[in-house]
């Protein structure tokens, strides 16, 4: 156990600091501070020694240099059980510092708020990071508190142990301190490296929390990130690992639709029901009709506020999660009648940067597939051109293939997903799966639009589609045998357009 006899405090955020300095004064801990923190402590009526008085140097360069001095770092880094260190402290009149409370300039927050590079660069903390690393390195003797998140824990520690700290306390806080510095440095690196040809991979997220389990009960799992920044959970049980994966798929898909109320139903990251209609209730009913069996226990998402009538219709089936931009109060009451329904109010559209995942002995990274084709991106390649209504269905279906596992085929008509075949090793299998599924749920696919995530290497798919009554096709094109599929369409009065963009998803 080590007794805290002196402390250095220099923080940007003063929230919840007052009770800590009062407790430290009560315990007889000598406090050193500087600048705004010193003024704050003085206003609390707690004795404080200016760092400038310790170092005999003022804060210089507009506050860029305040604590970078041997009399500060010597007191932090000195090993208490080392006679040579103790002798040097005595020779140079350096006091030991047993507790360091420091946070960092809000670099990440500043980047989010402004494009002014000069302002952003000024928020790169130098002294704070140096103090944190020094105190964390010497955790055998020094306690480091590197973020306001831990103020309440520090106060409890001071009160419960009367100013003493145990080795496990100091080591835990040291690990947290290096976590804080690592995350901070990663954000600076990502800002400065944007657009640069730098081969290093860095990614960091805070707010880690343990999930009930991973994809399966025998797998442990955590989520890192601040969900509260984008979601408000209105009710239900805690989101699971699989819930989070499916919610991600749902919000990414529904973000494709902005012109009409749209509902999507997700099961194991794949859409089994999607529809756009004049009202949210109509959109829900049409989306559910796409596959009412798979919708059981699914993840639901819409781009429109949920009203009571829609809530009553949705509440007739079991679902895991419902995401919407808002809910009427009486709609929430409807869902409250059944347990474990997770309702999520989405505060804003999520626009992630790079996508990455670990595999083999490394990490792969790519840009998200944000390409969404419009009518201007379509190139008619057949004699018969699609009608305006067919173009709308082709574009609707093409949005869906982006979000389904390859190989995938989508059948759509009148702004509704009739059926899809996905995750197949053969494109023919995907098409046959889609046709069989559409028929199973009673859809007439005559006149439906067909979308493929990749080109047709052979004319077999358009032949199968033609015999099923499908008359409009959208695909990337690019096969050396494109002409075979185009010729078949011309011979049988089908319309085909190409986009020039493949949408594989693995």
Active site residues: 137, 268
Task: Tell me the backbone φ, ψ of residue 290, rounded to 5 degrees.
Answer: -60, -35
Reported as type and span, the H/E element at residue 234 is strand 231-235
If DSSP codes are grouped into helix, strand and coil, which group holds residue 163? coil
Chain centroid to CA 136: how far?
29
Which of 312, 346, 307 lies closest to 328, judged by CA?
307
DSSP 421: E
Check: CB of residue 452 under 8 Å from CB of residue 474: yes
Residue 328 CB contacts under 8 Å (≥ 6 apart), including other chains: 305, 306, 307, 308, 311
Residue 336 CB contacts under 8 Å (≥ 6 apart), including other chains: 235
Residues 371, 402: Cα–Cα separation, whole Å: 9
Q: In 148-302, which residue ranges form alpha helices assigned H by DSSP?
A: 151-161, 167-193, 241-254, 280-289
Sign of CA dihedral 47, 130, 58, 97: positive
Reported as type and span, the H/E element at residue 462 is helix 460-467
């Amino acid at each position: 156990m080590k007794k805290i006899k002196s402390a250095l405090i220099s923080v940007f955020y003063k929230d919840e600091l007052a009770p800590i300095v009062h407790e430290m004064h009560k315990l007889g801990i000598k406090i050193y501070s500087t600048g705004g923190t010193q003024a704050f402590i003085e206003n609390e009526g707690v004795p404080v020694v200016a760092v400038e008085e310790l170092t005999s140097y003022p804060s210089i360069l507009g506050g860029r240099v305040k604590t970078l001095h041997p009399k500060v770092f010597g007191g932090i880094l000195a090993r208490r059980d080392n006679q040579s260190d103790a002798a040097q402290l005595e020779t140079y009149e350096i006091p030991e510092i047993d507790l360091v409370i420091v946070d960092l300039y809000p670099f990440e927050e500043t980047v989010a708020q402004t494009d002014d590079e000069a302002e952003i660069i000024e928020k790169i903390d130098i002294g704070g990071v140096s103090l944190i690393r020094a105190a964390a390195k010497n955790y055998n003797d020094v306690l480091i508190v590197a973020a306001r998140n831990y103020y309440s824990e520090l106060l409890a520690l001071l009160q419960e142990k009367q100013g003493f700290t145990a080795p496990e306390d100091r080591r835990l806080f040291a690990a947290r301190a290096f976590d804080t510095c690592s995350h901070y440095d990663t954000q600076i690196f990502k800002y400065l490296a944007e657009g640069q040809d730098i081969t290093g991979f860095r990614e960091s997220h805070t707010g880690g929390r343990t999930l009930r389990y991973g994809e399966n009960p025998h797998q442990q799992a955590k989520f890192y990130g601040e969900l509260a920044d984008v979601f408000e959970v209105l009710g239900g049980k805690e989101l699971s690992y699989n819930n989070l994966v499916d919610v991600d798929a749902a919000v990414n898909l529904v973000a494709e639709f902005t012109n009409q109320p749209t509902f999507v139903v997700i099961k194991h990251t794949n859409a089994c029901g999607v529809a756009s209609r004049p009202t949210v209730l109509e959109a829900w009913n049409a989306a559910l009709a796409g596959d009412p069996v798979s919708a059981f226990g699914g993840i639901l998402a819409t781009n429109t506020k949920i009203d009571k009538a829609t809530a009553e219709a949705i509440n007739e089936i079991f679902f895991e999660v419902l995401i919407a931009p808002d809910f009427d109060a009486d709609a929430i009451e409807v869902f409250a009648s059944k347990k474990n329904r997770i309702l999520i109010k989405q505060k804003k559209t999520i626009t992630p940067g790079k996508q990455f995942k670990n595999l083999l002995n490394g990490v792969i990274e790519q840009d998200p597939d944000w390409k969404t084709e419009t009518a201007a991106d379509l190139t008619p390649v057949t004699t018969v051109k699609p009608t305006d209504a067919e173009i709308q269905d082709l574009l609707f279906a093409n949005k869906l293939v982006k979000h389904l596992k390859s190989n995938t085929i989508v059948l759509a008509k009148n702004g509704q997903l009739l059926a899809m075949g996905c995750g197949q090793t053969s494109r023919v299998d995907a098409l046959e799966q889609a046709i069989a599924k559409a028929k199973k749920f009673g859809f007439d696919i005559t006149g439906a639009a067909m979308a493929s995530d990749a080109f047709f290497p052979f004319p077999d798919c358009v032949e199968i589609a033609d015999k099923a009554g499908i008359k409009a096709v959208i695909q990337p094109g690019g096969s050396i045998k494109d002409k075979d599929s185009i010729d078949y369409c011309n011979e049988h009065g089908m319309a085909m357009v190409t986009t020039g963009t493949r949408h594989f998803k693995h």
